[in-house]
Homo-oligomer: A and B are copies of this chain.
Amino acid sequence: MTYLYNMNIPETDYPRVVVIGGGFGGISCARNLINKKVQLVMLDKRNYHTFQPLLYQVSTSGLEPDSIAFPLRKLFNKGNNTYFRLAEVKNINPDKKKIHTNIGELSFDYLVIATGSKTNFFGNENIEKNGVWMKTVPQALNLRSLILENLEQASITDDMDERKRLLNFVIAGAGPTGVELSGAIAEMRKNILTKDYPDIDKEEMHVHLLEGMERVLPPMSKKSSRNAQKYLEDLGVEVHLSTFVEDYKNKQVTTSDGKQFFTETFIWSAGVTGAPVEGFVGKSYMEKGNRYRVNRFNQVGGYESIYAIGDIALMKTDDYPNGHPMVAQPAIQQGKHLAKNLLRSLDGEAMQAFKYYDKGTMATIGRNRAVVDLKSIKFGGVLAWYVWMFVHLWFLIGFKNRIVTFFNWVYNYVNYDRAQRLIIRPFKKKRTQLSDVD
């Protein structure tokens, strides 16, 4: 099959803005360009936006995958002169202002790179080969299948060492993902295990959370770290601080302080790194962190018409000399800001420098606890959980998703249940065949 010229996107009188990536940054930028004086083209290798903060709930049978994803075409189908293409970008030619993708070439007037981040294994091939992680919906579903398959297998094996390994869940990295995931697995242990698997004693199952720093949630306040650790331990999570993972092979995790964990399920949530466009290094590309260096207008260094936002962009400011945290908020704010700057520029006005407004951070632990850090106040507990819940519902895209997610949470809250315990696509036997988009 060959492809139509310029991906079948017509020439118009308006300049063409191409946005690569439909994550938080990309859709925030695109939404602010719909029906404005530009032709908008969104490219993504998936046809949906993923609400990453709730992926761990898909992994732990709390939410269905469809609730936290939103079809990108639906986001744009209200716009005139807006286009979506399911495409994987392979390279960028800045001189000719062209993008090369798996479905052909596309010229642009302005390019916004919003390709986000990917899991960072820090070069450890064993972890990449033997571990699991969770940056996409299919990966989250794989983890769900793996957890449930392990429990099934633990019920019937006659090898008691294997049984222990199957019931041992080890999570590396106590950032929000690691904390929320270990809390949710511990919640399953507490409320589901004994109901669903009467052959397994609750005390046989272990959830270990390993963190290299001396506290959980290192970017948050010390108060919230203390609270989060307490909530985790109340749920039965075994927290190991100042513990760096060294390797995972032969079903064994080894650490810098000599600890050993035998496990069939090693979940790596200890770091992310930029996910740049495959063949495009750029003139100011940073080796460390894999992020494109940008100025205060999100312009990629050395190029007039190429911009980068969110996790893939490294903007050094006085407040953030090492760049902004790689989370949703900077991406959302940069996306919106860049859209406005592009429109300003088209109107002949000067662009304005980006300034990040830190709205605070939070994390949830289990069914009804959370910690929240705002500028003026840090608090935890059930109230924090309500705040966490409403903020996440607010940012979740799509009315339908919000209602279904809210209903699921109320249901889980009232019933101490996580209903979606389905192994739709068994993971173990397919493990070796899986690529990132499987």
Contact = CB atoms under 8 A, between A and B. Distances in A.
Interface stretch (A237-245, A247-255, A278-286, A403-411): A403-411
Contacts of A77: 195-196, 198
A156 B85 contact: yes
A47 interface: yes
Contacts of A138: 424-425
A66 B422 contact: yes
A337 interface: no
B408 A400 contact: yes
Interface string A41-58: 000001110000000000
A157 B3 contact: yes
Interface in A78-110: 85-86, 103-104
Interface string A401-427: 001100110010000000111111110
Contacts of A48: 421-424
Interface in A8-25: 8
B153 A1 contact: yes
Contacts of A85: 152, 155-156
A218 to B, nearest CB: 33
A421 B71 contact: yes
Contacts of A421: 47-48, 71, 73-74
A434 to B, nearest CB: 10
A424 B137 contact: yes
A87 to B, nearest CB: 8
Interface string A250-292: 0000000000000000000000000000000000000000000
A69 interface: yes
Interface centre among A74, A159, A398, A424 (most CB of B within 10 A): A424
Contacts of A411: 399-400, 403
A393 interface: no
Contacts of A425: 138, 425, 438
A137 B423 CA distance: 10
A48 B148 CA distance: 12
A153 to B, nearest CB: 7
B8 A199 contact: yes
A196 B74 contact: yes
A237 to B, nearest CB: 24
A398 B419 CA distance: 9
B46 A8 contact: no
Nearest to A430: B438
A196 B73 CA distance: 6
A161 B425 CA distance: 34
A65 B148 CA distance: 17
Nearest to A103: B156
A437 interface: yes
A250 to B, nearest CB: 16
A64 B74 CA distance: 17
Given A103-B156, A155-B8, A422-B69, A407 B404 contact: yes
Contact of A156 (B8, B137, B400): B8
Interface centre among A155, A423, A430 (most CB of B within 10 A): A155
A4 interface: yes
9 contacts: A5-B158, A8-B155, A47-B421, A69-B422, A77-B195, A85-B156, A404-B404, A404-B407, A426-B437
Given A1-B159, A5-B158, A71-B419, 20 more contacts: A1-B153, A1-B157, A3-B157, A47-B148, A48-B424, A64-B65, A69-B422, A71-B422, A73-B196, A73-B421, A74-B196, A74-B421, A77-B196, A86-B149, A398-B419, A399-B411, A400-B419, A403-B411, A404-B407, A433-B433
